[in-house]
Amino acid sequence: MGQQTITRATIFDVAQRASVSIKTVSRVVNREPNVREKTRAKVEQAIAELQYRPDSSARNLARQKSHLIGLVYDDPAAYELPSSGYIIRLQQGALRACRASMHELLIHPCNFRERGVGAALKSVIEDARLAGIVLAPPLSNMMRLVRAVQETGTPFVRISPGQKIRNHMCVATNDAQATAEIVDHLASLGHKKIGFVTGDETHAAVTNRFEGFQMGLDRNGLRLSAKRIVSGNNSFASGEQAAAKLLALADRPTAIVCANDDMAAGVVRQAKKLGLSLPDELSVTGFDDVVLARQILPTLTTVRQPLSRMAERAVEMLLKGKRGSQHEIVSAELQLRDSTGPAPS
């Protein structure tokens, strides 16, 4: 009483105490069927009395796999450090799912620029017998790495913002959908003349955002006006230029949707330069929720990738273990801040 025994109880001790076989104990611990209610109770009491908890090392060996989920992401040590928020959010989501299922999270940042990362990754996966892997962007889109993971035969899911569907598990977010929601938001504020600043055409996720914009306009009964679409190249400067054009329009838009935050920040800067007060005279939205979005004034209404939820879903998919191809879309979270407001009357 009080003082713990120094050696932990094993399944054998429990079996003896409950006068059943170790296999039966194993059954109740693992919630397997075919155990009489009475027996289960007996065993559970013995477990409680002995404070038995299964030893994962032994279980791992017998099951031929561990209770470890690997989270693989680009090593922030490789470049500079502002990506920490990104990584923490991924970790949080993954951890949430791990805890819910009695697994543990192994983090494995890796620098894809180095030679031999693929092999190193394989070693870790195989040696530790990871139960599953989640690959975060940008690594999740590097086929060399994906293939390495694939070769281990360990189940894995890619978190891939550019939703390339392949015959394996993957979770993504839908940029188009989110952009449409931005338009919903703006429409609900009474905006009718909405401009758009496109991004770099070569970036798939960014062009998706334009589609989403059109979709949003459509479903809110708004008309797409060619002269309100201006192209940018993802940079702050291109945002300023785009704003200059849009705000010079005779029939000036009351809101400007941008394909990313940097351009939106440029738009804000230009609008202020022209003496407009935001959001009273102009609403502006971005996309990505970079740190800058919270630092400028007014703070930027934008969309942030649901990293945490995606990571969580990824781990869950791993564990539910439906074999075969699956992919899931988790919708992005609108961040309503101060750069959007009611349309000027």
Partner DNA sequence: AAATAGAAAGACAGCGCTGTCATTTTGGGG
Partner DNA sequence: CCCCAAAATGACAGCGCTGTCTTTCTATTT
- Kindly list the residues in this chain that would bind its own copies in the complex (CB under 8 A): 4, 8, 53-58, 60-61, 64-68, 76-77, 81, 84-85, 87-89, 91-92, 95, 104-107, 109, 123-124, 126-129, 151, 295
CB atoms under 10 Å from CB of 163, counted, come to: 18
Quote the least distance from Cβ 322 to DNA, whole Å. 18
Q: Which is nearer to its own copies, 69 or 178 (CB)?
A: 69
- Under a CB-based contact definition with an 8 Å cutoff, are residues 251 and 192 in contact? no
Closest distance to DNA from the beta carbon of 42 (Å):
8
Q: Select the binding partner of residue 128 from DNA, its own copies, none (C-beta < 5 to 8 A, by kind).
A: its own copies
Q: In the window 48-107, what residues touch DNA (CB under 7 A)?
A: 52, 54-55, 58-59, 61-64
249 binds, among its own copies, DNA, none (CB under 5 to 8 A by kind): none
CB of 126 to its own copies, least distance (A): 7
Using CB under 7 A as the binding rule, whether residue 116 contacts DNA is answered as no
Q: Name which of 151 and 201 has its Cβ closer to its own copies.
A: 151
Q: Please report how close the Cβ of residue 319 comes to its own copies at its closest, in angstroms.
A: 17
From the list 35-43, 97-105, 155-163, 280-288, the region that binds DNA by CB under 7 A is 35-43
Name which of its own copies, DNA, none residue 129 binds, using a CB cut-off of 5 to 8 Å depending on partner kind: its own copies
CB 125, min distance to DNA, A: 15
Q: Give the 3-state DSSP-derived string for the chain, with helices as H, strands as E and coil as C.
A: CCCCCCCCCCHHHHHHHHCCCHHHHHHHHCCCCCCCHHHHHHHHHHHHHHCCCCCHHHHHHHHCCCCEEEEEEECCCCCCHHHHHHHHHHHHHHHHHHHHCCCEEEEEEECCCCCCHHHHHHHHHHHCCCCEEEECCCHHHCHHHHHHHHHCCCCEEEECCCCCCCCCEEEECCHHHHHHHHHHHHHHCCCCCEEEEECCCCCHHHHHHHHHHHHHHHHCCCCCCHHHEEECCCCHHHHHHHHHHHHHCCCCCCEEEECCHHHHHHHHHHHHHCCCCCCCCCEEECCCCCCHHHHCCCCCEEEECCHHHHHHHHHHHHHHCCCCCCEEECCCEEECCCCCCCCCC
16 contacts DNA (rule: CB under 7 A): no
123 binds, among DNA, its own copies, none (CB under 5 to 8 A by kind): its own copies
What minimum distance in Å lies between the beta carbon of 9 and DNA? 8
Verify binding: residue 34, DNA, rule CB under 7 A.
yes
Among residues 262 and 289, whose Cβ is nearest to its own copies? Answer: 289
Does residue 39 bind DNA (CB under 7 A)?
yes
CB of 113 to its own copies, least distance (A): 16
Sign of the CA dihedral with 41 first, then 43, 45, and 48 last: negative
How many residues contact DNA, by CB under 7 A? 31
CB atoms within 10 A of CB 255: 28
Q: In angstroms, give the least distance from the CB of 80 to its own copies.
A: 11
**Looking at beta carbons only, is 11 or 276 nearer to DNA?**
11
Q: Are 206 and 161 in contact (CB under 8 A)?
A: no
Stretch that binds DNA, among 8-16, 96-104, 147-155, 199-207 (CB under 7 A): 8-16
128 to each of 80, 95, 287, 291, 311, how far by Cα in Å?
29, 18, 39, 36, 21
User: Pick from its own copies, DNA, none: which does 36 bind, CB < 5 to 8 A by kind?
Assistant: DNA
Partner interacting with residue 21 (select from DNA, its own copies, none; CB below 5-8 Å by kind): DNA
Comparison of 282 and 311: residue with beta carbon closer to its own copies: 311
Cα-only R_g, the chain: 26
